[in-house]
Structure formats: C-alpha cells, structure tokens
Amino acid sequence: MRIIKIFDTTLRDGEQSPGASMNVDEKIQVAKQLVKLGVDIIEAGFPIASPGDFEAVKRIATEVKGATIAGLARARNEDIDRAREALKPAESMRIHTFIATSDIHLQYKLKMSREAVIEAAINAVKRARQYTDDVEFSAEDATRSDWDYLCKVTEEVIKAGAKTVNIPDTVGYTVPQEYGELMEYLMNNVPNIDKAVISVHCHNDLGLAVANSLTAILKGAGQVECTINGIGERAGNASMEEIVMALKTRPKFYNADTKIVTQEIYKTSRLVSKITGMVVQPNKAIVGENAFAHEAGIHQDGLLKERSTYEIMKPEDVGIPRSKLVLGKHSGRHAFKARLHELGYDLTEEELNRAFEKFKHLADQKKYIFDEDIETLVSEEVSKTPEIYSLVDLSITSGVNVKPTAAIKLNVNDNIVEKMEHGDGPVDAVYKAIAAITHTKSSLLKFEVKSITGGTDALGEVMVSLEENGRTVRGHGADTDIIVAAAKAYINALNKLAARKR
C-alpha cells in the first residue's frame, strides 16, 4: 500500500479565504495541532508577502517540530532568499517555488514567452537547491496549460533538482476524468518523472477538488495539497479530512493511505473553525454537525441493530465521541425507546405507546426535541428517577480580593455529608465540592444561564450537560439565587447519571 504525503496549506492558501486571517500566535497554535494530526508538510506562509507572513513562517520554523515546514516563493531570487531566511531555523525545511504555465497566464499576467518561463523555473529551482535539497516546483494553472509544454516544464525542473512537482488545478477548472488523463499523460511522456514525487493541489470552484485529488492518487500522485475544512481561495481547496477518510474507508480501491492520526481530525477542524471564524456547514462530510446524525426512523432502526447499515465509518475514528440519534418527526419507535432507556426510563408497552403518540404530536410542532421534552412527556406515565443526591444547604464566600469558597451540605442516600472547596469562581467552587462529596468524575460539557422572568429578583434557570464514561445527560435547576440554581442543575444531572449506571 502506497503512503500518500499530506501537504497542509491551511496556514497559507487556507488563510487567503476572505476573513480567515490569523495572527502569528494563532498560526503557531494551528501548526502544533497539525503536527499532532500527523501531516507531513506544513506550508506556513508566503514569507515575502508581508512582514507578518515572514514572522509567522520564521516562528513556526523555530517553535514547531515534527513536520517539514514549507515557505512559498515566486520564481524570483528575492522571494527564494526571503523564504530561506524565514525557514532557516526549521529542523526540516522545504522551499516551494512556482510560476504559471498556462497561455492565459503567460499572455495576460506574466507577459512572458514559454521559453522565458521555463528558464525562470529552472533558475528558481537551482537557486532554491543552494539552500535545501527539498525543493518543490508548482506549475500554476497546470490544468489549463498545453499538455506537451507542461511535460517539458516538468522534465526541466526535475533536471534542475526539484524533488516534488505540483500539478495544480489553480482555478478549479478540471474534472476527474480529464485530470486522470493528464496525470497519465505526464507519467508516460516525462522521461525523468520517476525522479520526483508528483503532487496535486485542487481548488473547489466546481465542487470537484476532492474527487480530482483522489483520481490523481489513482493515477500515481504521491502527495496531496489540501486544507482543514477545505478553506481557501474562492470556493476553497480540497478538504484534507475528506481525502484522508476516503483512503481510510476504501483501502482496497485506492491501495493507498496516509500517516494522519485520524482521531485528531475533529479537534483540528474545530480549532481552525474557531480561530478563523469560518463556521463548518452542518452537512459537511466527516466533520459537519450532521455527519454522524440520524433522524429518519428507518435509519435509526438499522443503526441500532447494526451500525454498518447506515454508517461507512466510525465517528470515533475521526475524534467524534459517538453517533447521534436525533429525535424528530421522522424518528421511529425503536429510537424513541432507546432514548428513554438512556434517560433511565423503563416503560411498559402500553406506557411506551402513549408516550410515543405524544412524542409524534410534539415533533410535528417543534423543530428540535430535547431530553427535557421527552422527560416531560413520560413523567405523566411513570414516576421519575429517585434522587440519590439532594441539596440541603449551600453558602458562598466570594469577592474581588477573596478566594471563592463554597460550603456544601448534601443528602446522599439519607446521609448528610458536608464539604468545603475553593475554586476559580463561586460556581467552580460549588461544583468541586459537589464532585468531592459524590465521588463523581464527570466532565462539564455545557453551562447555560437564562432568566425565566424579568427584574433583578427574576427566577434564574441553569442548564448543564455532563458526560461520564460515554454517557451524556442534561440537568436543570431554577432559583432566584443563580448559584443555588447552578448547584441544583449539577445535582439533577448527577442523579440522571446515577440512574443510567443502574
């Protein structure tokens, strides 16, 4: 099985997305996560583009270890020298130089002859080779270039010392069949093609970036240039997570894989989305909110019986804890019953029928059905889960120059237990004291506060989500004292967790 190199350009081409600019510290944070993800090459920026880009590349080269750091440079001496200066501290560097090869670019942008472009390309590669053996050359707008001329450029830059030659679909113009034929043409008509790794860099203007990249892999490409979440110029670049998981999911078809640690994919996606402010669309493949969510009753029934009926990969493989069964008007009885069981309810067949009828009626009225809605529906049918923990007393000491302290008294199975804890804030102190009393190690996933009524004496409501050993619950609490409400919500959630354990 061939190992395909992953060349991540999130920090260079991805950052060129409108509004996606990152400061130096943010770039370093992303770069370090890309190392955890297992990418082979990180294109850190375009050093000559601005002082900020130069500084970002230099700091990443200095501080980020575990991957080759690349800098982009036009086929000009000053660009290449600037890239080398920025990359000098790297433990492994690559200079990535480029010039356009399509007649459109030659005539209107460069105003150069074909011969002059070949000469510039050769000189650029040779100059870069003075600084490093790892030189990549890109033929910008390759897919709209004359194929025989592209073969000649490729042959000459390999002779000059390029170890990687990139055949980019710069404007997202090509389609899979055509791109595959171009790859085959290059493989058969460039005599020294075996002396370099052929790379692909596809844009998504026609929505074909991933499909084109995968086709190129089938035809012999050994490196893919891509970005996290597919961000990039215009409609974006090929999405790394989609390419990686396509190879992982269809190993016999592609006979290729990558060194990517797939369990880090979701975390990396969230980080890039948070830093750039570019929201991932819910139906985005692999990392979208709905990528492993199921609402249709037929799908939910099949999934509960055997996961592979409606999922071709495991959410855990990309770092998502589990699949989601979204309850709505399309959901069936099997999924509804399974959710009730998770919430700690064991209904008779008659109780289940009545509750399911109410659920269907509610689902026609509400877009989203939450656990609290379901609990409200079944509360009339069955008694609620007995409370193991209940709040007896709570006192807080807090202030500007005072370490927040909480003194908690709980009833635990008819035994009064007291505990005092410090925290970063009053709620943190309260939650630490409760966790110490109950001996629980749940993770707080969400904490929300809202006012039920108006005025300074309003009744406040707190909602929390807790997770422990793969179980997730929501807890609610209400009180005019928001700290008391927070304590009640936490205790409510712990009681639900206890019910699920039983």
Q: Each residue of 288-347: pLDDT tens digit?
A: 988 888 777 778 778 778 888 888 999 999 998 877 767 778 888 888 888 888 777 778
Q: Which residue shows structure tokens 């009885």?
A: 333
- The rounded percent of the chain whose pLDDT value lies above 90 is 69
Nearest CA to 491 out of 449, 437, 455 is that of: 437
Q: How far apart (Å, rounded) are the C-alpha atoms in residues 193 and 374?
A: 63
Q: Stretch 226-231: mean pLDDT, rounded?
A: 97
Higher per-residue pLDDT: 384 or 51: 51
Angle in degrees, CA 456, 461, 462, rounded to 5: 125
Residue 20, classed as helix, strand or coil, is coil
Residue 452 has pLDDT above 60, yes or no: no
Q: Which residue shows structure tokens 């929300």?
A: 448
Give the DSSP letter string of 73-117: EESSHHHHHHHHHHHTT-SSEEEEEEEE-SHHHIIIII---HHHH
pLDDT, tens only, 454-487: 555 556 788 898 988 877 888 888 788 899 999 9
pLDDT for the residue numbered 383: 45
Q: How far apart (Å, rounded) are the C-alpha atoms in residues 341 and 168?
A: 52
Give the global pTM: 0.73
Question: Residues 6 or more apart from 235 whose CB is under 8 A from it?
Answer: 172, 203, 204, 205, 207
152 CB neighbour count, 10 Å cutoff: 16
Q: How far apart (Å, rounded) are the C-alpha atoms in residues 416 and 477?
A: 21
Question: Residues 6 or more apart from 205 whose CB is under 8 A from it?
Answer: 171, 172, 173, 234, 235
Q: How far apart (Å, rounded) are the C-alpha atoms in residues 154 and 193?
A: 8
Name the superfamily (CATH) of residues 389-501: Alpha-isopropylmalate synthase LeuA, regulatory domain (3.30.160.270)
Q: What number does CATH give the domain 2-276? A: 3.20.20.70
pLDDT, tens only, 197-206: 999 999 999 9
Nearest CA to 95 out of 47, 62, 128 is that of: 128
Q: Are 378 and 347 in contact (CB under 8 A)?
A: yes
What are the strands of the beta sheet with 415-422, ordered from one edge?
389-399, 402-412, 415-422
Task: Give the strand pairing for 293-294 and 93-100.
Answer: unpaired
Residue 386 has pLDDT above 70, yes or no: no
Question: Residues 6 or more apart from 3 whose CB is under 8 A from it?
Answer: 256, 257, 258, 259
Question: Residues 6 or more apart from 283 whose CB is under 8 A from it?
Answer: 290, 291
The model's confidence at residue 425, banded by pLDDT at 50, 70 and 90, is very high
Domains of the chain, by residue range, sit at: 2-276, 293-379, 389-501
Q: Are 72 and 12 in contact (CB under 8 A)?
A: yes
Please name the amino acid found at residue 233.
E
Average pLDDT, the chain: 91
pLDDT for the residue numbered 82: 98
